Structure 1
């Protein structure tokens, strides 16, 4: 299996676990099984973001469509199962839909479902890591573009990386393109922790699946049962953190390198930053996007923001 593994996965795992504060980038949580488990998470009663964002899209889609897209290509970054996408496609009737996702099999299955449901819309799936350079299909050359980045995925990135990612999106989509992005708002800690450490244990399975993936793809021998999922609120940094905590002293090998964790030490696997209204707009501006409109639910739990790409000369 080693010769078939993504070299970036191997490098991120080995280098990340060698750091003084061990961590692995959150994108590697989403292999096929991880993507399936995340879909399960989005349907849990305690996980409000997907439910709230979907309701917001349904309620405001007329306004969003009028401002966002006319005969354009919708480019979705990290499309996953594309569960929210039909709301946009139904309302906007774009010329093309380009889902981008790192999980190839999952991408092709979800793109196939969209293609069957919307036969008049050209679907061009792109298997890629959207944080890296991405070549969009030539079939959409000349079309206006709307980027779609739902689910508050931007919150997985620390602010500096989030700014870089937004600039990257601007470069991919081009000047004059628009971006519809979801951002989760700050709220009581109890609700936040419940969303990322559900009583059903699905998020724990999702987090621990990363260790199983490492064992399978890198031929490692991590004792998965000796780690536990934990969600923490970091008030200073305004984010929920996911960790894998060693239950006892453990040692394991990955790619012929030995790692040791004392009981209580953790592997940091994901962040979910929460933004207030001003912070969200400042982040977009720093990333090369000018906010045009914003929609939120009655409880101010979640926001959808439509922004327009600035010219490169306006950004550092």
Structure 2
């Protein structure tokens, strides 16, 4: 496929082994997203319990004229963790004179199929996929056509997967991609009733549990590991003190697991911390981004469950 860029970074093996050697075992949440993990997450977004996706889409639909005015014309749209690009289609169907669309995704196979579909739907649009871990600095493809500015689209409250310190580092990196006039359209999940939050990450169908365990399946395949998925259970709870949902995989028994020849011992009820999902008050998020961005506009739903925000780059 033409017009594609692939980046290389420190290896999956190094990151996985480093995480499993810690007293509180951890795994990078980005490794949920092989092709199967990406498909499972798309199914999760359609669950009744999982409010973020449908709420964000409703916010976009209700405020589209104002969102489009904020983004502006002749824009290069860069989407981080693009997935199926469903929300992006809402923008592409309304944005005037989009110069190019750059979807960025770690799962090459999944993104390739999405790009193939998008090129059929938008045959006149320049689509330049980047297959990489976008949490690290990466190279944006050269844009041959004239454009006015870049806008980074980061929907779905994925910013909440970063520890606030890491989120600041990430925002600093993104700001360097943006020229004066550039901005960021970002989804931010808001603090709310604990029951609503925990229900969203513990669905009745068990899709989130399968998604959580898929990280072990991915590691088994890629790193010659022997995790038994049946010996771990999914656990997701809201830590009110830290303002975050915490996802863990909890060992059901004492067991030994081997990864790339290195052995790890688990005692019963010991967990692997696989993901955080931080929730923010609007003022908290404004303070988080303030060194690099100015919050220009905020759109929310009637329950104040979720927000879509436009951040203006203030680094010249």
Shorter-chain TM band: over 0.9
| Counterpart residue number, 1:138 | 142
| Counterpart residue number, 2:280 | 275
- Conserved? CA contact 2:293–2:315, under 8 Å: no
- Conserved? CA contact 2:56–2:187, under 8 Å: yes
Q: Secondary structure at the match of 1:139?
A: coil
Unpaired runs of 5+ in structure 2? 1-7
1:161 aligns with 2:166: yes
How far did 1:142 drift? Answer: 5.4
1:40 aligns with 2:13: no
| Deviation per residue, 1:155-197 (Å, 9 max, x gap) | 0000000011111111123333110000001111111111011
| Counterpart residue number, 2:295 | 291
More helix by share: 1
How far did 1:226 drift? Answer: 0.5
1:300 aligns with 2:299: no
1:309 aligns with 2:296: no
Provide runs of 4+ in structure 1 moved above 6 Å.
Answer: none
How far did 1:141 drift? Answer: 7.2
- Conserved? CA contact 1:41–1:203, under 8 Å: yes
| Counterpart residue number, 2:83 | 80
| C-alpha RMSD over aligned residues | 1.4
| Counterpart residue number, 2:221 | 216
- Distance, in Å, in 1 between the alignment partners of 2:31 and 2:230 is 20
- Conserved? CA contact 1:69–1:146, under 8 Å: no
- Conserved? CA contact 2:99–2:145, under 8 Å: no
TM-score (norm 2): 0.94
- Conserved? CA contact 1:180–1:304, under 8 Å: yes
How far did 1:85 drift? Answer: 0.5
- Distance, in Å, in 2 between the alignment partners of 1:140 and 1:134 is 19
Equivalenced residues, count: 307
1:104 aligns with 2:108: yes
Q: Secondary structure at the match of 2:93?
A: helix
Q: Residues 206 and 191 from structure 1, CA distance in 2 versus in 1: closer, same or farther, beyond 3 angstroms?
A: same
- Conserved? CA contact 1:134–1:172, under 8 Å: no
- Conserved? CA contact 1:145–1:173, under 8 Å: yes
| Counterpart residue number, 1:239 | 244
Q: Secondary structure at the match of 1:294?
A: strand
- Distance, in Å, in 2 between the alignment partners of 1:60 and 1:20 is 46
| Deviation per residue, 1:15-56 (Å, 9 max, x gap) | 100011110111111111000000000000000000000011
Aligned mate of 1:14, from 17, 22, 26: 17
- Distance, in Å, in 2 between the alignment partners of 1:25 and 1:210 is 9
Q: Secondary structure at the match of 2:123?
A: coil
- Distance, in Å, in 2 between the alignment partners of 1:243 and 1:140 is 45
Q: Residues 260 and 6 from structure 1, CA distance in 2 versus in 1: closer, same or farther, beyond 3 angstroms?
A: farther
TM-score (norm 1): 0.94
| Counterpart residue number, 2:34 | 31
1:184 aligns with 2:212: no
How far did 1:216 drift? Answer: 1.1
